[in-house]
Amino acid sequence: RGHTSSRRSRICLSKKHLVTGTSGGLGKALAEAVLEAGECVVATARRVSVLDDLKARYPSSQLLVVALDVSVNEQIDRAFEAMVSHFGRVDVVVNNAGYAVFGEVEGIEEEAARKEFDVQFWGPVYISKLTAKTVREVNKKGQGAIIFNVSSAGGYNANPGLAFYASSKFALEGFTEAFSKEMLPEWNIKCCILEPGGFETEWKNSFVGFPQHPAYVGNPANFRNLRSGITMLGDPAKGAKAIVKLSHEPKLPMRMPLGSDSLAIVKTKAELVMKSAETFSGISRMSDKDGMDGVAYGDMIVKKLRETSNN
């Protein structure tokens, strides 16, 4: 795809993005979508050579490539230092880096599960904190920033075989929701959880798989065949453009399902949770103190929680 010389020499005056996990899939598509929109991006990956094609097509005034393992805080520090030095501020941060450990819970080594949390939970936590610090200390007052934490439809509805992947995403969603509510209004820091459905990317090839645990041999509900023969609905390029569009919206949702499959999963899970809550509400209310109006108390607590949140 060609670019005119005037575009190559143009100084990037628009949004400055930092995207992790841009070696392929949605992350690389997002970096390219940002560049196509004429905006700036710090594209990070453990193997930066996979971004040579983008470096050949876009000027350094628009694109900065940085080697980054998000499980190493010192590397995160250096990435932010490079961004501030190169682009002067941070506008959008996308915590996209991740992979999946696959297998039965009983068959997965604990070390592998902990490593997944380092990448998909503790890495984004550190990056989110550093983003807030950078906004306060580097950006112009009130300029703010957006933090997109990439979860998954599987971060809202857990699937067998991906227990630790789902757990790390559940944790990330809970963190993002609480962190967002802690942000002072004058900082203008917005957080949004992205919940992609299935995308036709290299992600499925990055699974760290473990052999089937002997106790589960012959399991009639064989989740190991879940994706066999299924064509993924999501187009990475279109998903990336949706995220770029979202970054320009004046208001952001707390959760943003990406794709009709994710929408269906989220909606079905929410309906099932509500139905179950209503079905067992009688047992739930058995723990209320005598003489107290549980319904009124619940309404009061919900109102109190809203009053003590910044978002």
**Positions marked catalytic:** 151, 165, 169
SS3 135: helix
- Contact, 75 vs 67, CB < 8 A? yes
- Contact, 47 vs 55, CB < 8 A? no
Q: State how far the alpha carbon of 140 is from the alpha carbons of 39, 79, 191, 198, 248, in Å.
A: 19, 20, 19, 38, 18
* Secondary structure (DSSP) of 219-247: -SS-GGGTTTTPPP-B-HHHHHHHHHHHT
Residue ranges of E strands in the chain: 16-19, 40-45, 63-67, 92-95, 101-102, 145-150, 189-196, 208-209, 255-258
C-beta neighbour count of 206 within 10 angstroms = 14
**Residues belonging to the chain:** 311
Exposure string of 221-235, with b = 16+ CB inside 10 Å and e = fewer, is eeeeeeeeeeebebb
CA–CA gap between residue 234 and residue 197 (Å, rounded):
7
Which one, of 154, 161, 199, lies nearest residue 29 by Cα? 199
CA–CA gap between residue 54 and residue 65 (Å, rounded):
9
